[in-house]
Chain A
Protein backbone atom coordinates (compact mmCIF):
# COMPACT_ATOMS: atom_id res chain seq x y z
CA UNK A 1 0.00 0.00 0.00
CA UNK A 2 1.38 3.39 -0.89
CA UNK A 3 1.99 6.16 1.62
CA UNK A 4 -0.76 8.24 0.05
CA UNK A 5 -3.41 5.67 0.89
CA UNK A 6 -2.68 5.74 4.60
CA UNK A 7 -5.14 8.01 6.30
CA UNK A 8 -4.35 7.65 9.98
CA UNK A 9 -0.97 8.15 11.70
CA UNK A 10 -1.56 5.02 13.79
CA UNK A 11 -1.52 2.79 10.70
CA UNK A 12 1.70 0.95 10.02
CA UNK A 13 0.85 -1.02 6.91
CA UNK A 14 3.20 0.17 4.19
CA UNK A 15 5.15 2.35 6.64
CA UNK A 16 8.82 2.19 5.71
CA UNK A 17 11.13 0.58 8.25
CA UNK A 18 8.29 -0.98 10.19
CA UNK A 19 6.90 -4.49 10.21
CA UNK A 20 3.19 -5.13 9.92
CA UNK A 21 2.30 -8.66 10.86
CA UNK A 22 -0.81 -10.22 9.41
CA UNK A 23 -2.47 -13.59 9.14
CA UNK A 24 -3.97 -15.15 6.06
CA UNK A 25 -6.60 -17.83 6.67
CA UNK A 26 -7.24 -19.98 3.64
CA UNK A 27 -10.68 -21.38 4.48
CA UNK A 28 -10.42 -23.83 1.56
CA UNK A 29 -7.70 -25.62 3.51
CA UNK A 30 -9.38 -25.56 6.92
CA UNK A 31 -10.64 -29.01 7.94
CA UNK A 32 -12.21 -27.90 11.20
CA UNK A 33 -9.94 -30.00 13.43
CA UNK A 34 -9.91 -27.20 16.05
CA UNK A 35 -6.21 -27.87 16.70
CA UNK A 36 -5.61 -24.11 16.52
CA UNK A 37 -8.12 -23.58 19.28
CA UNK A 38 -6.49 -26.26 21.43
CA UNK A 39 -2.95 -24.99 20.77
CA UNK A 40 -4.03 -21.49 21.76
CA UNK A 41 -5.67 -22.77 24.93
CA UNK A 42 -2.50 -24.68 25.82
CA UNK A 43 -0.22 -21.74 25.04
CA UNK A 44 -2.09 -19.26 27.21
CA UNK A 45 -4.03 -21.40 29.69
CA UNK A 46 -7.18 -19.75 28.39
CA UNK A 47 -10.04 -20.60 30.79
CA UNK A 48 -13.17 -22.54 29.89
CA UNK A 49 -15.95 -20.56 28.25
CA UNK A 50 -13.68 -18.01 26.57
CA UNK A 51 -11.33 -18.25 23.61
CA UNK A 52 -8.64 -16.17 21.97
CA UNK A 53 -9.35 -18.02 18.76
CA UNK A 54 -12.39 -20.06 17.86
CA UNK A 55 -13.69 -21.86 14.80
CA UNK A 56 -17.43 -21.59 14.24
CA UNK A 57 -18.88 -23.53 11.37
CA UNK A 58 -22.02 -23.48 9.34
CA UNK A 59 -23.55 -26.16 7.16
CA UNK A 60 -24.24 -24.53 3.81
CA UNK A 61 -26.03 -25.74 0.70
CA UNK A 62 -28.94 -28.11 0.32
CA UNK A 63 -28.84 -31.91 0.48
CA UNK A 64 -27.11 -33.65 -1.26
CA UNK A 65 -24.86 -30.68 -2.08
CA UNK A 66 -23.90 -29.65 1.41
CA UNK A 67 -20.65 -28.85 3.16
CA UNK A 68 -19.36 -27.52 6.43
CA UNK A 69 -17.93 -24.04 6.05
CA UNK A 70 -15.39 -23.06 8.72
CA UNK A 71 -14.34 -19.56 9.61
CA UNK A 72 -11.46 -19.45 12.08
CA UNK A 73 -11.72 -16.30 14.16
CA UNK A 74 -9.31 -14.29 16.29
CA UNK A 75 -8.37 -10.70 17.02
CA UNK A 76 -7.88 -8.90 13.72
CA UNK A 77 -5.05 -6.71 15.05
CA UNK A 78 -6.59 -3.80 13.23
CA UNK A 79 -4.40 -1.06 11.81
CA UNK A 80 -6.86 1.47 13.26
CA UNK A 81 -8.17 -0.40 16.31
CA UNK A 82 -11.30 1.05 17.96
CA UNK A 83 -10.48 -0.78 21.22
CA UNK A 84 -7.29 1.27 21.60
CA UNK A 85 -9.19 4.51 21.03
CA UNK A 86 -11.84 3.57 23.58
CA UNK A 87 -9.76 2.37 26.51
CA UNK A 88 -9.85 5.18 29.11
CA UNK A 89 -6.53 4.23 30.73
CA UNK A 90 -4.49 3.05 27.74
CA UNK A 91 -4.56 -0.50 29.03
CA UNK A 92 -4.76 -1.63 25.43
CA UNK A 93 -2.25 -0.34 22.94
CA UNK A 94 -0.79 -0.97 19.55
CA UNK A 95 2.85 -1.93 19.09
CA UNK A 96 4.18 0.33 16.37
CA UNK A 97 6.69 -2.16 15.00
CA UNK A 98 4.63 -5.21 14.10
CA UNK A 99 1.12 -3.83 14.56
CA UNK A 100 0.28 -6.11 17.51
CA UNK A 101 -2.68 -4.92 19.58
CA UNK A 102 -1.84 -5.89 23.15
CA UNK A 103 -3.22 -5.60 26.65
CA UNK A 104 -1.62 -4.30 29.85
CA UNK A 105 -3.26 -6.54 32.45
CA UNK A 106 -1.95 -4.56 35.40
CA UNK A 107 -3.63 -1.42 34.12
CA UNK A 108 -7.00 -2.76 32.90
CA UNK A 109 -9.85 -1.50 35.10
CA UNK A 110 -12.41 -3.89 33.60
CA UNK A 111 -14.79 -1.29 32.19
CA UNK A 112 -15.34 -3.49 29.08
CA UNK A 113 -15.30 -0.46 26.82
CA UNK A 114 -12.86 -2.22 24.50
CA UNK A 115 -15.18 -5.23 24.31
CA UNK A 116 -18.04 -2.98 23.27
CA UNK A 117 -15.84 -1.25 20.69
CA UNK A 118 -14.58 -4.44 19.02
CA UNK A 119 -16.72 -5.36 16.00
CA UNK A 120 -15.25 -8.88 16.01
CA UNK A 121 -15.99 -10.06 19.58
CA UNK A 122 -12.29 -10.76 19.92
CA UNK A 123 -12.12 -9.58 23.52
CA UNK A 124 -13.39 -11.31 26.61
CA UNK A 125 -13.36 -10.96 30.38
CA UNK A 126 -11.19 -13.41 32.28
CA UNK A 127 -12.96 -15.20 35.15
CA UNK A 128 -12.25 -14.42 38.79
CA UNK A 129 -10.65 -17.79 39.52
CA UNK A 130 -8.01 -19.62 37.50
CA UNK A 131 -6.03 -22.66 38.48
CA UNK A 132 -2.53 -21.89 37.26
CA UNK A 133 -2.54 -18.24 36.17
CA UNK A 134 -2.91 -15.27 38.51
CA UNK A 135 -4.28 -12.94 35.80
CA UNK A 136 -8.01 -12.63 36.55
CA UNK A 137 -10.91 -10.19 36.16
CA UNK A 138 -9.35 -8.23 33.32
CA UNK A 139 -10.01 -8.18 29.60
CA UNK A 140 -7.94 -10.54 27.49
CA UNK A 141 -7.50 -11.21 23.79
CA UNK A 142 -5.31 -12.81 21.13
CA UNK A 143 -1.81 -11.29 21.01
CA UNK A 144 -0.74 -12.78 17.66
CA UNK A 145 1.58 -14.71 20.01
CA UNK A 146 3.75 -11.64 20.51
CA UNK A 147 6.09 -13.61 22.82
CA UNK A 148 6.69 -16.22 20.10
CA UNK A 149 6.93 -13.87 17.15
CA UNK A 150 9.58 -11.77 18.89
CA UNK A 151 11.57 -15.02 19.19
CA UNK A 152 11.21 -15.59 15.43
CA UNK A 153 8.53 -18.25 15.90
CA UNK A 154 5.07 -18.24 14.36
CA UNK A 155 1.94 -18.09 16.54
CA UNK A 156 0.88 -21.35 18.21
CA UNK A 157 -2.24 -21.69 16.06
CA UNK A 158 -0.19 -21.30 12.86
CA UNK A 159 2.43 -23.76 14.09
CA UNK A 160 -0.18 -26.43 14.74
CA UNK A 161 -2.45 -25.90 11.73
CA UNK A 162 -2.45 -29.30 10.04
CA UNK A 163 -3.91 -28.09 6.75
CA UNK A 164 -1.66 -24.99 6.55
CA UNK A 165 -4.79 -22.95 6.48
CA UNK A 166 -3.25 -20.27 8.69
CA UNK A 167 -0.23 -18.40 7.37
CA UNK A 168 1.52 -15.66 9.34
CA UNK A 169 4.08 -13.08 8.33
CA UNK A 170 5.12 -9.50 7.72
CA UNK A 171 2.86 -7.82 5.21
CA UNK A 172 5.34 -4.97 4.79
CA UNK A 173 7.89 -7.47 3.48
CA UNK A 174 7.05 -8.03 -0.21
CA UNK A 175 8.92 -11.36 -0.12
CA UNK A 176 6.83 -12.83 2.70
CA UNK A 177 4.28 -15.59 2.12
CA UNK A 178 1.42 -13.48 3.44
CA UNK A 179 2.30 -10.69 0.99
CA UNK A 180 2.31 -13.23 -1.82
CA UNK A 181 -1.04 -14.70 -0.78
CA UNK A 182 -2.71 -11.31 -0.34
CA UNK A 183 -1.33 -10.11 -3.69
CA UNK A 184 -2.29 -13.21 -5.66
CA UNK A 185 -5.63 -14.21 -4.17
CA UNK A 186 -8.98 -12.58 -3.73
CA UNK A 187 -9.03 -11.94 0.01
CA UNK A 188 -11.71 -10.75 2.37
CA UNK A 189 -11.57 -9.11 5.75
CA UNK A 190 -14.37 -9.15 8.31
CA UNK A 191 -16.65 -6.13 8.45
CA UNK A 192 -14.53 -3.85 6.24
CA UNK A 193 -17.26 -1.20 6.46
CA UNK A 194 -16.15 -0.44 10.03
CA UNK A 195 -12.92 1.09 8.76
CA UNK A 196 -10.80 -0.77 11.30
CA UNK A 197 -8.43 -2.10 8.61
CA UNK A 198 -8.25 -5.63 10.00
CA UNK A 199 -5.11 -7.69 9.43
CA UNK A 200 -6.59 -11.16 9.28
CA UNK A 201 -7.27 -11.90 5.63
CA UNK A 202 -9.54 -14.72 4.52
CA UNK A 203 -9.36 -16.61 1.26
CA UNK A 204 -12.63 -18.23 0.23
CA UNK A 205 -14.67 -17.15 3.24
CA UNK A 206 -18.39 -17.81 2.94
CA UNK A 207 -20.63 -14.78 3.16
CA UNK A 208 -23.04 -16.81 5.31
CA UNK A 209 -20.41 -16.48 7.98
CA UNK A 210 -18.73 -13.15 7.29
CA UNK A 211 -22.02 -11.28 7.50
CA UNK A 212 -24.49 -11.16 10.36
CA UNK A 213 -26.10 -14.58 10.57
CA UNK A 214 -29.68 -15.22 9.72
CA UNK A 215 -29.81 -16.99 13.11
CA UNK A 216 -31.26 -13.83 14.52
CA UNK A 217 -34.37 -14.35 12.40
CA UNK A 218 -35.15 -17.58 14.24
CA UNK A 219 -37.66 -17.67 17.06
CA UNK A 220 -36.22 -16.01 20.18
CA UNK A 221 -37.23 -19.03 22.29
CA UNK A 222 -35.16 -21.37 20.09
CA UNK A 223 -32.21 -19.01 20.28
CA UNK A 224 -32.57 -18.81 24.04
CA UNK A 225 -32.63 -22.61 24.36
CA UNK A 226 -29.43 -22.87 22.36
CA UNK A 227 -27.80 -20.05 24.30
CA UNK A 228 -28.72 -21.70 27.62
CA UNK A 229 -27.32 -25.04 26.44
CA UNK A 230 -24.13 -23.28 25.33
CA UNK A 231 -23.71 -21.55 28.68
CA UNK A 232 -24.59 -24.72 30.65
CA UNK A 233 -21.84 -26.57 28.81
CA UNK A 234 -19.23 -24.34 30.42
CA UNK A 235 -20.89 -24.08 33.80
CA UNK A 236 -18.75 -26.68 35.55
Chain B
Protein backbone atom coordinates (compact mmCIF):
# COMPACT_ATOMS: atom_id res chain seq x y z
CA UNK B 1 0.00 0.00 0.00
CA UNK B 2 1.30 3.41 -0.88
CA UNK B 3 3.88 1.88 -3.18
CA UNK B 4 4.96 3.77 -6.26
CA UNK B 5 5.31 1.30 -9.10
CA UNK B 6 6.49 2.53 -12.47
CA UNK B 7 4.59 0.64 -15.16
CA UNK B 8 6.76 0.14 -18.21
CA UNK B 9 5.39 -0.63 -21.63
CA UNK B 10 5.88 -3.97 -23.37
CA UNK B 11 8.54 -3.88 -26.06
CA UNK B 12 6.77 -5.88 -28.73
CA UNK B 13 3.04 -5.55 -29.30
CA UNK B 14 0.44 -7.82 -30.91
CA UNK B 15 1.47 -6.86 -34.46
CA UNK B 16 4.60 -8.90 -33.92
CA UNK B 17 2.50 -11.92 -32.89
CA UNK B 18 0.48 -11.59 -36.11
CA UNK B 19 3.76 -11.40 -38.01
CA UNK B 20 4.95 -14.61 -36.30
CA UNK B 21 1.72 -16.33 -37.36
CA UNK B 22 1.86 -15.09 -40.96
CA UNK B 23 5.53 -15.91 -41.44
CA UNK B 24 4.96 -19.39 -39.93
CA UNK B 25 2.18 -20.00 -42.46
CA UNK B 26 4.43 -18.68 -45.22
CA UNK B 27 7.20 -21.15 -44.27
CA UNK B 28 4.73 -24.03 -43.86
CA UNK B 29 3.29 -23.48 -47.34
CA UNK B 30 6.78 -23.31 -48.80
CA UNK B 31 7.51 -26.72 -47.21
CA UNK B 32 4.31 -28.08 -48.81
CA UNK B 33 5.25 -26.76 -52.23
CA UNK B 34 8.65 -28.40 -51.89
CA UNK B 35 6.96 -31.60 -50.68
CA UNK B 36 4.95 -31.71 -53.92
CA UNK B 37 8.22 -32.44 -55.76
CA UNK B 38 8.90 -35.37 -53.46
CA UNK B 39 5.41 -36.84 -53.11
CA UNK B 40 2.81 -37.14 -55.84
CA UNK B 41 -0.04 -36.83 -53.34
CA UNK B 42 0.83 -33.16 -52.79
CA UNK B 43 1.19 -32.31 -56.51
CA UNK B 44 -2.19 -30.46 -56.72
CA UNK B 45 -1.01 -28.10 -53.97
CA UNK B 46 2.28 -27.10 -55.61
CA UNK B 47 1.23 -23.82 -57.25
CA UNK B 48 -1.38 -22.88 -54.64
CA UNK B 49 1.15 -23.31 -51.83
CA UNK B 50 3.89 -21.43 -53.69
CA UNK B 51 1.67 -18.44 -54.49
CA UNK B 52 0.16 -18.48 -51.00
CA UNK B 53 3.59 -18.54 -49.44
CA UNK B 54 4.75 -15.56 -51.48
CA UNK B 55 1.57 -13.58 -50.75
CA UNK B 56 2.01 -14.21 -47.02
CA UNK B 57 5.65 -13.17 -47.26
CA UNK B 58 4.52 -9.81 -48.67
CA UNK B 59 1.91 -9.44 -45.89
CA UNK B 60 4.45 -10.46 -43.23
CA UNK B 61 7.07 -8.08 -44.60
CA UNK B 62 4.60 -5.20 -44.57
CA UNK B 63 3.59 -6.05 -41.00
CA UNK B 64 7.22 -6.13 -39.92
CA UNK B 65 8.01 -2.82 -41.60
CA UNK B 66 4.78 -1.24 -40.32
CA UNK B 67 5.67 -2.27 -36.77
CA UNK B 68 8.90 -0.26 -36.87
CA UNK B 69 8.57 3.20 -35.38
CA UNK B 70 10.74 4.40 -38.30
CA UNK B 71 9.31 2.29 -41.14
CA UNK B 72 11.26 4.06 -43.90
CA UNK B 73 14.52 3.03 -42.25
CA UNK B 74 13.84 -0.67 -42.85
CA UNK B 75 16.48 -0.61 -45.60
CA UNK B 76 19.11 0.02 -42.93
CA UNK B 77 18.96 -3.67 -42.00
CA UNK B 78 20.22 -4.45 -45.50
CA UNK B 79 23.05 -1.92 -45.38
CA UNK B 80 26.32 -3.87 -44.94
CA UNK B 81 27.87 -0.87 -43.21
CA UNK B 82 25.18 -0.94 -40.52
CA UNK B 83 24.52 -4.67 -40.08
CA UNK B 84 25.27 -6.13 -36.68
CA UNK B 85 25.69 -9.86 -37.10
CA UNK B 86 25.34 -10.57 -33.38
CA UNK B 87 21.66 -9.63 -33.71
CA UNK B 88 19.21 -12.34 -34.82
CA UNK B 89 17.11 -9.61 -36.44
CA UNK B 90 19.94 -8.86 -38.87
CA UNK B 91 20.13 -12.52 -39.88
CA UNK B 92 16.34 -12.64 -40.10
CA UNK B 93 16.23 -9.66 -42.44
CA UNK B 94 18.80 -11.29 -44.74
CA UNK B 95 16.87 -14.57 -44.55
CA UNK B 96 13.59 -12.89 -45.50
CA UNK B 97 15.15 -11.10 -48.47
CA UNK B 98 16.90 -14.27 -49.69
CA UNK B 99 13.65 -16.23 -49.31
CA UNK B 100 11.75 -13.54 -51.21
CA UNK B 101 14.22 -13.69 -54.12
CA UNK B 102 14.14 -17.50 -54.16
CA UNK B 103 10.31 -17.45 -54.08
CA UNK B 104 10.07 -15.06 -57.03
CA UNK B 105 12.50 -17.19 -59.07
CA UNK B 106 10.58 -20.30 -58.09
CA UNK B 107 7.26 -18.79 -59.16
CA UNK B 108 8.82 -17.76 -62.49
CA UNK B 109 10.10 -21.33 -63.00
CA UNK B 110 6.61 -22.67 -62.24
CA UNK B 111 5.04 -20.29 -64.77
CA UNK B 112 7.57 -21.32 -67.40
CA UNK B 113 6.97 -24.99 -66.59
CA UNK B 114 10.70 -25.58 -66.13
CA UNK B 115 10.65 -28.76 -64.03
CA UNK B 116 14.39 -29.07 -63.34
CA UNK B 117 14.80 -25.45 -62.26
CA UNK B 118 11.51 -25.56 -60.36
CA UNK B 119 12.61 -28.52 -58.27
CA UNK B 120 15.96 -26.92 -57.49
CA UNK B 121 14.41 -23.58 -56.55
CA UNK B 122 11.72 -25.30 -54.47
CA UNK B 123 14.52 -26.92 -52.45
CA UNK B 124 16.36 -23.62 -52.04
CA UNK B 125 13.14 -21.80 -51.08
CA UNK B 126 12.20 -24.52 -48.55
CA UNK B 127 15.65 -24.39 -46.94
CA UNK B 128 15.41 -20.60 -46.66
CA UNK B 129 11.83 -20.97 -45.40
CA UNK B 130 13.17 -23.18 -42.62
CA UNK B 131 15.21 -20.20 -41.51
CA UNK B 132 12.09 -18.06 -41.01
CA UNK B 133 10.61 -19.87 -37.98
CA UNK B 134 14.12 -20.61 -36.69
CA UNK B 135 15.04 -16.93 -36.69
CA UNK B 136 11.72 -15.84 -35.16
CA UNK B 137 12.20 -18.36 -32.36
CA UNK B 138 15.83 -17.37 -31.97
CA UNK B 139 14.71 -13.75 -31.83
CA UNK B 140 13.00 -14.59 -28.54
CA UNK B 141 15.57 -17.08 -27.25
CA UNK B 142 18.41 -14.55 -27.20
CA UNK B 143 16.55 -12.48 -24.61
CA UNK B 144 17.92 -14.50 -21.74
CA UNK B 145 16.41 -12.22 -19.10
CA UNK B 146 12.85 -13.20 -20.10
CA UNK B 147 11.33 -16.39 -18.69
CA UNK B 148 9.83 -18.73 -21.32
CA UNK B 149 11.59 -16.90 -24.15
CA UNK B 150 14.99 -17.96 -22.88
CA UNK B 151 14.59 -21.63 -23.71
CA UNK B 152 16.69 -23.06 -26.55
CA UNK B 153 13.70 -25.07 -27.79
CA UNK B 154 11.87 -21.93 -28.92
CA UNK B 155 13.19 -22.11 -32.53
CA UNK B 156 12.22 -25.82 -32.62
CA UNK B 157 8.74 -24.94 -31.37
CA UNK B 158 8.35 -22.31 -34.08
CA UNK B 159 9.44 -24.79 -36.75
CA UNK B 160 6.87 -27.31 -35.46
CA UNK B 161 4.21 -24.58 -35.42
CA UNK B 162 5.12 -23.61 -38.99
CA UNK B 163 4.78 -27.21 -40.19
CA UNK B 164 1.47 -27.58 -38.33
CA UNK B 165 0.08 -24.28 -39.68
CA UNK B 166 1.23 -25.04 -43.23
CA UNK B 167 -0.31 -28.52 -43.10
CA UNK B 168 -3.54 -27.04 -41.75
CA UNK B 169 -3.82 -24.58 -44.65
CA UNK B 170 -2.84 -27.41 -47.00
CA UNK B 171 -5.66 -29.55 -45.63
CA UNK B 172 -8.13 -26.75 -46.31
CA UNK B 173 -6.72 -26.15 -49.82
CA UNK B 174 -6.63 -29.87 -50.69
CA UNK B 175 -10.43 -30.09 -50.67
CA UNK B 176 -11.66 -33.54 -51.63
CA UNK B 177 -8.24 -34.87 -52.66
CA UNK B 178 -8.15 -38.05 -50.56
CA UNK B 179 -4.45 -38.83 -51.11
CA UNK B 180 -3.36 -35.35 -50.10
CA UNK B 181 -5.73 -35.33 -47.11
CA UNK B 182 -4.29 -38.63 -45.90
CA UNK B 183 -0.73 -37.32 -46.03
CA UNK B 184 -1.63 -33.95 -44.53
CA UNK B 185 -3.41 -35.71 -41.68
CA UNK B 186 -0.10 -37.42 -40.86
CA UNK B 187 1.80 -34.12 -41.05
CA UNK B 188 -0.80 -32.41 -38.85
CA UNK B 189 -0.77 -35.19 -36.30
CA UNK B 190 3.01 -35.39 -35.92
CA UNK B 191 3.69 -31.64 -36.01
CA UNK B 192 0.90 -30.86 -33.53
CA UNK B 193 2.16 -33.69 -31.34
CA UNK B 194 5.64 -32.13 -31.44
CA UNK B 195 4.15 -28.75 -30.48
CA UNK B 196 2.38 -30.40 -27.53
CA UNK B 197 5.55 -32.12 -26.29
CA UNK B 198 7.58 -28.90 -26.52
CA UNK B 199 4.85 -26.91 -24.72
CA UNK B 200 4.79 -29.44 -21.88
CA UNK B 201 8.56 -29.15 -21.62
CA UNK B 202 8.44 -25.32 -21.58
CA UNK B 203 5.63 -25.18 -19.01
CA UNK B 204 7.34 -27.75 -16.82
CA UNK B 205 10.67 -25.97 -16.71
CA UNK B 206 8.99 -22.58 -16.27
CA UNK B 207 7.02 -23.80 -13.28
CA UNK B 208 10.19 -25.16 -11.68
CA UNK B 209 12.15 -21.92 -12.15
CA UNK B 210 12.83 -18.93 -9.91
CA UNK B 211 10.42 -16.20 -8.93
CA UNK B 212 10.33 -14.62 -12.40
CA UNK B 213 9.52 -17.98 -13.97
CA UNK B 214 6.96 -18.73 -11.29
CA UNK B 215 5.19 -15.40 -11.81
CA UNK B 216 5.29 -15.75 -15.58
CA UNK B 217 3.79 -19.22 -15.28
CA UNK B 218 0.97 -17.67 -13.25
CA UNK B 219 0.41 -14.97 -15.86
CA UNK B 220 0.32 -17.56 -18.66
CA UNK B 221 -2.08 -19.92 -16.96
CA UNK B 222 -4.62 -17.58 -15.33
CA UNK B 223 -7.01 -14.85 -16.38
CA UNK B 224 -7.40 -13.75 -19.99
CA UNK B 225 -3.89 -14.87 -20.93
CA UNK B 226 -4.65 -18.28 -19.44
CA UNK B 227 -7.77 -18.51 -21.61
CA UNK B 228 -5.74 -17.66 -24.70
CA UNK B 229 -2.71 -19.83 -23.92
CA UNK B 230 -4.21 -22.82 -22.17
CA UNK B 231 -7.79 -22.65 -23.45
CA UNK B 232 -7.29 -21.84 -27.13
CA UNK B 233 -3.61 -22.63 -27.58
CA UNK B 234 -3.18 -25.90 -25.72
CA UNK B 235 -6.64 -27.42 -25.22
CA UNK B 236 -8.51 -26.30 -28.36
CA UNK B 237 -5.51 -25.82 -30.64
CA UNK B 238 -3.22 -28.71 -29.71
CA UNK B 239 -4.91 -31.44 -27.63
CA UNK B 240 -8.31 -31.31 -29.40
CA UNK B 241 -6.92 -31.64 -32.96
CA UNK B 242 -4.69 -34.55 -31.89
CA UNK B 243 -7.69 -36.31 -30.32
CA UNK B 244 -9.79 -35.52 -33.38
CA UNK B 245 -7.21 -36.84 -35.83
CA UNK B 246 -6.83 -40.05 -33.84
CA UNK B 247 -10.60 -40.62 -33.79
CA UNK B 248 -12.33 -42.33 -36.78
CA UNK B 249 -13.89 -38.98 -37.77
CA UNK B 250 -10.38 -37.56 -38.09
CA UNK B 251 -9.68 -39.83 -41.04
CA UNK B 252 -12.45 -38.20 -43.07
CA UNK B 253 -12.00 -35.02 -45.05
CA UNK B 254 -14.24 -32.98 -42.74
CA UNK B 255 -12.31 -34.20 -39.71
CA UNK B 256 -8.93 -33.24 -41.14
CA UNK B 257 -10.22 -29.79 -42.19
CA UNK B 258 -11.76 -29.23 -38.75
CA UNK B 259 -8.50 -30.26 -37.10
CA UNK B 260 -6.69 -27.87 -39.43
CA UNK B 261 -8.93 -24.97 -38.44
CA UNK B 262 -8.34 -25.75 -34.75
CA UNK B 263 -4.58 -25.95 -35.30
CA UNK B 264 -4.63 -22.55 -37.03
CA UNK B 265 -6.59 -20.97 -34.18
CA UNK B 266 -4.30 -22.64 -31.64
CA UNK B 267 -1.17 -21.58 -33.53
CA UNK B 268 -2.28 -17.95 -33.54
CA UNK B 269 -3.16 -18.07 -29.81
CA UNK B 270 0.10 -19.77 -28.87
CA UNK B 271 2.21 -17.27 -30.75
CA UNK B 272 0.33 -14.37 -29.15
CA UNK B 273 0.63 -15.79 -25.63
CA UNK B 274 4.28 -16.80 -26.04
CA UNK B 275 5.12 -13.30 -27.22
CA UNK B 276 3.03 -11.21 -24.85
CA UNK B 277 2.87 -13.12 -21.55
CA UNK B 278 6.61 -13.20 -20.78
CA UNK B 279 6.68 -9.42 -21.28
CA UNK B 280 4.00 -8.72 -18.68
CA UNK B 281 6.13 -9.35 -15.61
CA UNK B 282 8.98 -7.24 -16.94
CA UNK B 283 6.65 -4.22 -17.14
CA UNK B 284 6.55 -4.25 -13.31
CA UNK B 285 10.31 -4.31 -12.75
B208 at the interface (CB under 8 A from A): no
Q: Which A85-108 residues have C-beta < 8 A from chain B?
A: 85-90, 107-108
Q: Which chain B residue shows the least CB distance to A55?
A: B4
* Residue interface bits A160-182, CB-to-B below 8 A is 1, else 0: 00000000000000000000000
Q: Which residues of B94-152 have CB atoms within 8 Å of chain A's CB atoms?
A: 139, 142-146
- Give CA–CA (A68, B2) in the complex, Å: 9
Chain A contacts for B285, CB-based, 8 A: 119-121, 212-213
Whether B77 pairs with A138 at a CB distance below 8 angstroms is no
Give every chain A residue within 8 A of B282 (Cβ-Cβ). 119, 121
| Residue total for B at the interface (Cβ-Cβ under 8 A) | 49
For A212, the chain B residues whose CB sits under 8 A away are 211-212, 215, 281, 284-285
Give 1 or 0 for each of A172-213: 1 = CB within 8 Å of chain B CB.
000000000000000000010011000000000000000111
A230 at the interface (CB under 8 A from B): yes
The reply to whether A87 and B211 form a contact with Cβ atoms under 8 Å apart is: no
Tell me, in angstroms, the Cα distance from A121 to B143 when the chains sit together.
Answer: 13
C-beta contact mask, B22-60 vs A, less than 8 Å → 1, else 0? 000000000000000000000000000000000000000
CA distance A110 to B83 in the complex (A): 15
- Please state if B69 and A137 are interface contacts (CB–CB under 8 Å): yes
Contacts of B93 in A (CB 8 A): 88
**Which of B3, B84, B223 interacts with A58 by CB under 8 Å?**
B3
With beta carbons under 8 angstroms apart, the residue of A85, A119, A121 that contacts B87 is A85
Q: How far is the CA of A119 from the CA of B281 in the complex (A)?
A: 11
Residue in B1, B2, B12, B82 whose Cβ sees the most chain A Cβ within 10 Å: B82
Min C-beta distance of B139 to chain A, whole Å: 8
Chain A contacts for B146, CB-based, 8 A: 116
Whether the pair A220, B3 counts as a contact (CB closer than 8 A) is no
Please state if A117 and B5 are interface contacts (CB–CB under 8 Å): no
A230 to chain B, nearest CB (A): 5
Closest chain B residue, CB of each to CB of A127 = B69
How many Å lie between the Cα of A85 and that of B91 in the bound state?
13
The CA-CA distance from A191 to B146 in the complex, in Å, is 12
Give chain B residues whose Cβ lies under 8 Å from the Cβ of A54.
Answer: 6
Instruction: Determine the distance from Cα of A121 to Cα of B88 in the docked complex, in whole angstroms.
Output: 20
Contact indicator A110/B86 (Cβ below 8 Å): no
Complex contacts, B219 vs chain A, CB 8 Å: 216
B residues sitting closer than 8 Å to A (CB atoms) are 1-9, 11-12, 67-70, 73-74, 76-77, 79, 82-84, 86-90, 93, 139, 142-146, 211-212, 215, 218-219, 222-224, 279, 281-285
Given A56-B6, A213-B284, 9 extra CB contacts under 8 A:
A56-B5, A89-B79, A116-B12, A119-B145, A120-B285, A137-B70, A191-B145, A220-B222, A230-B5
The residues of A with any CB-CB pair to B shorter than 8 Å are 51, 54-59, 68, 73, 82, 85-90, 107-113, 115-121, 124-125, 137-138, 191, 194-195, 211-213, 215-217, 220, 226-227, 230-231
